[in-house]
A = this chain, B = another copy of it.
């Protein structure tokens, strides 16, 4: 375990679950306060953990897409459960 550590991984996976695939700049826009550095760092980590797949289209300008692997998609129930919990237990006005 420990695969889901880091402030951004859950958010990244969440946004990939909402819409797939996503381009790098797409994710950048979807997650407002993340820096490029953190985004790429966490994406690489998720890739290394087998949760995210990186697809490069050798075009100009560069085109890279990210999508969830099967293992990544399999996180859906867990993320939903976490989301529900957060909605119930961390109510905001």
Contacts and interface: CB of A to CB of B under 8 A. Distances in A.
A7 interface: yes
Q: How large is the interface on A (under 10, 10 to 19, 20 to 34, 35 or more residues)?
A: 20 to 34
A60 interface: no
A85 B89 contact: no
A74 B86 CA distance: 10
A88 B5 CA distance: 18
A18 interface: no
A71 interface: yes
Contacts of A84: 77-78
B78 A82 contact: yes
A82 to B, nearest CB: 5
